[in-house]
C-alpha cells in the first residue's frame, strides 16, 4: 500500500489533534517580535525636535532630508567608502529618532500615549502619519506615480519611508534593481548605498521591516565587495536579533547565500555557541537560518552546533529534537552529513561528525521515537539508504525489537514501526514479523494474541496494514527482494517466508471480516486482499463455508506443496514460487 493511502491521512489527523495538546514549553517560542511598524514607531513625535518640519496634508510630518551632507553625497566611492563608518553618520540618528528607532534597533519600545501642543494622538495614527508617502508621490488611485523617478525620491530623503511602504518598496526594487537597472546612473546608485548602508540603524530598521527586508535582499544581491564588508559588519553586530526576527531572518539567509565566503564564514562564526543557540534552533524564524548554514557551509564551520547537541551533561539534543522547529534542524544535519561526496577528505569529515551525532541519537532513540516531532528524525534515518544503513539496523535491533507490540499501539511510535516494516533488511524483517505472529503469549482469558490486538487498535491497525501491503508486494513480485525463488540469505528462503506471512494475515483478516467491515481501517485491509485476488488467481487457505471446512482447508493448504498463487498470463511480472 502506498504510504499516502493511510499514513498521510493519519498525519493529518495527528496534526489536527496535536493543536489541542500544545505543550506549555512551546508558548515561549511564539512570543517574538511583532511587525516593526508597530514595534518601533509607537512613541510620540514632537515637531519641534525636527526643527522646521515639512507639511503633509496640513500636519507636520518629519520626512527628513538626506542624513548626509551634500559634500558627503558627492564624494567618490573608494574601496572602503567613508559612509560605512558609523562615526560619520551621526545625522542619521536624527532621522531614526524622528521615527523613534534607536540606532542599534535592538530593544522593543513601550507604547505610550503622547501629546504635542495639547493634542494627543493614538499609536496607530502616528504610525500611519509617519509611514504614509507624501501626496505628491501618489496619483488619484493612491498608487505611485508613473513618472516618479528614483532621483526625486533621493533628493527628498524618502528612501527609508519608501522602503518601509508596500508600494514604495516595490517602486525601489523595480526601478533600481529591476528592468531599468542598466539605465540608472552610477551616481544614483552611490547615493542609494549611502542612504541604506551608511548607517547601522537604517540598515537594521529596513531589515526588520515586513516590506523593507525584500528591498534589502536586492541590495545584497547587487552589492560590491566593499558594500558586502559593511553588510557583514552590521549583521554580525546584531546576529541573534536578526535571526529571531520574522523579516530580518530572510535577509540573513540571503547574505549567507550571496556574500563572499569570507564574509559568510564571519557571520556563521558570530552566532553565540552557547547562550542563544537553543533559542535560535527552536525559533520559528531562526531555525531557517540554521538550516541554511548547515546546507551551505562545510561541517567544520558549524560543528559547534553538533558539539552543543551531544553534550553529555545536558539534554540539549532531546530538547531540540522534541521541538516543532528544532527537529527540522537536527534532521537537516543528518541529511547533509549522510549525502555522498566524491571528495575523500570531505567524506571522512562528514562521517566523523555524523558518528558523533548518531551516537547521541542512538542513546536517546526510545525517547525520540515516542515524541510527536522527534519521531520524524528516526523515520528519516530508517528510510535513508547508504551511510545510514548501519544506524538504521542498530535502531531496529536496539530500540524496536522486543517492543513492537507496545510501540505499535502508540500514536507516534507506530509511525516508526511502519517505516521499519518497509525498509528493514531481510534478516530484521523476519525477526519483526516473527515477533508479531509468535513473540507474545496470548491473553490467558480472551486468548487474543498480538495480531488480534493490533488489527482493531486505533493506531496498531496501520502497522498491520503496512505488514499486509509489504507481504503482498513481495509475493506478487512488486518488491525486489522477493521477486524470485532464489532469494536466499544465510540459507533462508525469504521468498517462502513472505508467502507464509501473507497466508497468516489472510486467514486472520478473512476470519474477522464481519467485524472489520464496521471500521474504515478494516475496510482498507479487505480492499488490499480484494485487489490482490482480482489480479492473481488466489487459492485461499481459509474458507468461509463452515468451521469444519475451514479447518480442513487450512490443514490441507499448510501441508500441500502446491503454491497458493497461480500464475496469471496477464501479469507476467509475477513469479510462481
pLDDT digits (tens, 9 = 90+) for 425-465: 999 999 999 999 999 999 888 888 999 999 999 999 999 99
Measured in whole angstroms, the distance separating CA 338 from the mean position of its chain's CA atoms is 18
Confidence of residue 481 (pLDDT cuts 50, 70, 90): low
pLDDT of residue 540: 56
Average the pLDDT over 384-396 and give the result: 96
Burial 424-458 (b: 16+ CB within 10 A, else e): bebebbbbbbebbbebeeeeeeeeebbbbbbbbbe
> Does residue 45 carry a pLDDT above 80?
no
Instruction: Give the model confidence (pLDDT) of 183-215 as tens digits.
Output: 667 788 888 888 899 999 999 999 999 999 999
CA distance 173 to 189: 12
pLDDT at residue 177, as a whole number: 61
12, pLDDT greater than 90: no
Question: In this model, does residue 42 exceed pLDDT 50?
Answer: no
Beta carbons of 259 and 232 less than 8 angstroms apart:
yes
Identify the pLDDT of residue 20: 42
155-164: per-residue pLDDT in tens?
888 899 999 9
For residues 404-419, one letter each, b for 16 or more C-beta atoms within 10 angstroms of the residue's C-beta and e for the rest, the string is bbebbbbbbbbbbbbb
Q: Which residue has the cell 536578526?
A: 242
Instruction: Write the CB contacts of 460 (distance below 8 Å, at least 6 apart in sequence).
Output: 408, 409, 414, 453, 454
For residue 131, name the pLDDT band (cuts at 50, 70, 90): low
| pLDDT attached to residue 43 | 39
Chain mean position to CA 25: 19
Closest C-alpha among 31, 48, 204, 38 to residue 109? 38
**Given this model, what pLDDT does residue 95 score?**
52
Q: How far apart (Å, rounded) are the C-alpha atoms in residues 409 and 474?
A: 25
Q: How confident is the model at residue 178 (pLDDT cuts 50, 70, 90)?
A: low
Angle CA 516–521–522, to nearest 5: 20
The most distant pair of C-alpha atoms in the chain lies apart, rounded to whole Å, by: 105
| pLDDT, tens only, 324-358 | 999 999 999 999 999 999 999 999 999 999 999 99
pLDDT at 39 over 50: no
Contact between 469 and 509 (Cβ < 8 Å): no
Residue predicted with more confidence, 489 or 547? 489
Indicate if the pLDDT at residue 31 is higher than 50. no
pLDDT score of 147 more than 90: no
Per the DSSP assignment, residues forming a β-bridge with 554 are none
- At 10, the pLDDT band (50, 70, 90 cuts) reads low
- Residue 37: pLDDT band with limits 50, 70, 90: very low
Q: What mean pLDDT comes out for the span 88-99? A: 49
Q: At what angle do helices 200-207 and 90-98 cross, to 10 degrees?
A: 40
- Dihedral, 376, 377, 378, 381 alpha carbons, nearest 10: 120
Across the range 384-409, mean pLDDT stands at: 96
Low-confidence winner among 41-45, 184-188, 208-212, 253-257 (lowest mean pLDDT): 41-45
Q: 494: which 3 cell numbers?
A: 525469504
Q: If pLDDT is split at 50, 70 and 90, which confidence band does 127 have? A: very low
Cα atoms in the Cβ-side hemisphere of radius 13 Å centred on 523: 6
pLDDT at 173: 86
Cβ atoms 482, 512 nearer than 8 A: no
pLDDT at 491 over 50: yes
Which H or E element spans position 54?
strand 54-56
pLDDT greater at residue 274 or residue 543: 274
Q: Would you say residue 78 has pLDDT above 50? A: no
* Residue scoring higher pLDDT (161 or 70): 161
**Share above pLDDT 70 across residues of the chain, in percent, rounded to a whole number:** 66
CB–CB of 188/151 below 8 Å? yes
Amino acid at each position: 500500500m502506498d504510504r499516502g493511502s493511510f499514513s498521510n491521512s493519519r498525519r493529518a489527523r495527528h496534526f489536527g489533534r496535536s493543536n489541542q495538546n500544545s505543550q506549555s514549553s512551546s508558548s515561549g517560542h511564539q512570543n517574538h517580535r511583532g511587525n516593526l511598524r508597530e514595534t518601533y514607531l509607537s512613541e510620540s513625535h514632537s515637531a519641534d525636535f525636527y526643527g522646521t518640519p515639512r507639511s503633509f496634508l496640513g500636519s507636520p510630518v518629519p520626512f527628513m532630508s538626506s542624513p548626509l551632507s551634500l559634500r558627503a553625497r558627492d564624494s567618490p566611492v573608494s574601496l572602503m567608502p567613508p559612509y560605512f563608518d558609523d562615526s560619520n553618520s551621526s545625522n542619521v540618528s536624527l532621522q531614526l529618532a524622528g521615527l523613534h528607532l534607536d540606532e542599534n534597533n535592538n530593544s522593543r519600545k513601550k507604547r505610550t500615549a503622547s501629546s504635542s501642543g495639547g493634542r494627543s494622538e493614538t499609536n496607530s495614527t502616528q504610525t500611519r502619519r509617519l509611514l504614509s508617502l507624501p501626496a505628491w508621490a501618489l496619483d488619484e488611485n493612491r498608487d505611485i506615480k508613473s513618472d516618479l523617478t528614483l532621483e526625486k525620491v533621493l533628493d527628498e530623503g524618502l528612501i527609508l519611508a519608501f522602503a518601509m511602504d508596500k508600494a514604495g518598496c516595490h517602486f525601489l526594487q523595480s526601478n533600481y534593481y529591476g528592468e531599468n537597472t542598466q539605465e540608472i546612473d552610477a551616481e544614483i546608485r552611490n547615493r542609494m548605498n549611502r542612504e541604506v548602508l551608511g548607517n547601522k540603524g537604517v540598515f537594521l530598521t529596513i531589515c526588520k521591516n515586513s516590506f523593507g527586508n525584500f528591498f534589502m535582499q536586492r541590495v545584497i544581491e547587487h552589492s560590491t565587495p566593499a558594500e558586502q564588508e559593511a553588510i557583514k559588519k552590521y549583521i554580525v553586530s546584531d546576529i541573534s536579533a536578526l535571526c529571531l526576527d520574522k523579516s530580518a531572518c530572510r535577509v540573513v539567509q540571503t547574505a549567507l547565500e550571496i556574500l563572499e565566503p569570507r564574509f559568510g564564514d564571519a557571520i556563521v562564526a558570530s552566532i553565540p555557541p552557547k547562550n542563544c543557540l537553543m533559542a535560535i534552533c527552536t525559533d520559528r524564524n531562526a531555525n531557517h537560518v540554521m538550516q541554511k548554514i548547515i546546507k551551505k557551509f562545510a561541517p567544520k564551520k558549524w560543528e559547534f552546533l553538533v558539539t552543543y547537541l551531544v553534550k553529555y551533561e545536558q539534554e540539549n539534543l532531546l530538547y531540540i529534537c522534541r521541538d516543532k522547529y528544532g527537529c527540522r534542524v537536527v534532521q537537516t544535519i543528518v541529511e547533509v552529513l549522510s549525502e555522498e561526496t566524491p571528495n575523500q577528505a570531505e567524506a571522512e569529515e562528514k562521517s566523523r561528525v555524523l558518528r558523533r551525532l548518531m551516537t547521541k541519537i542512538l542513546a536517546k532513540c526510545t525517547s525520540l521515537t515516542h515524541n510527536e516531532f522527534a519521531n520524524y528524525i528516526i523515520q528519516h534515518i530508517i528510510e535513508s539508504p547508504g551511510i545510514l544503513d548501519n544506524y538504521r539496523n542498530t535502531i531496529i535491533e536496539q530500540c524496536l525489537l522486543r517492543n513492537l507490540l507496545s510501540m505499535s499501539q502508540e500514536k507516534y511510535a507506530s509511525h516508526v514501526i511502519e517505516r521499519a516494516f518497509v525498509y528493514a533488511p531481510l534478516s530484521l524483517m523476519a525477526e519483526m514479523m516473527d515477533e508479531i505472529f509468535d513473540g507474545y503469549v496470548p491473553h490467558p482469558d480472551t486468548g487474543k494474541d498480538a495480531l488480534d490486538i493490533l488489527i482493531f487498535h486505533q493506531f496498531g491497525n496501520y502497522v498491520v496494514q503496512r505488514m499486509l501491503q509489504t507481504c503482498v508486494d513481495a509475493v506478487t513480485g512488486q518488491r525486489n527482494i522477493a521477486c524470485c525463488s532464489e532469494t536466499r540469505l544465510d540459507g533462508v528462503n525469504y521468498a517462502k517466508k513472505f508467502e507464509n506471512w501473507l497466508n497468516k494475515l489472510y486467514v486472520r483478516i478473512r476470519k474477522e471480516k464481519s467485524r472489520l467491515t464496521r471500521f474504515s481501517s478494516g475496510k482498507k485491509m479487505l480492499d488490499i486482499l480484494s485487489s490482490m485476488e482480482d489480479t492473481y488467481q488466489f487459492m485461499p487457505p481459509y474458507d468461509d463455508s463452515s468451521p469444519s471446512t475451514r479447518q480442513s482447508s487450512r490443514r490441507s493448504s499448510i501441508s500441500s506443496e502446491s503454491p497458493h498463487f497461480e500464475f496469471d498470463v496477464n501479469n507476467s511480472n509475477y513469479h510462481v514460487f
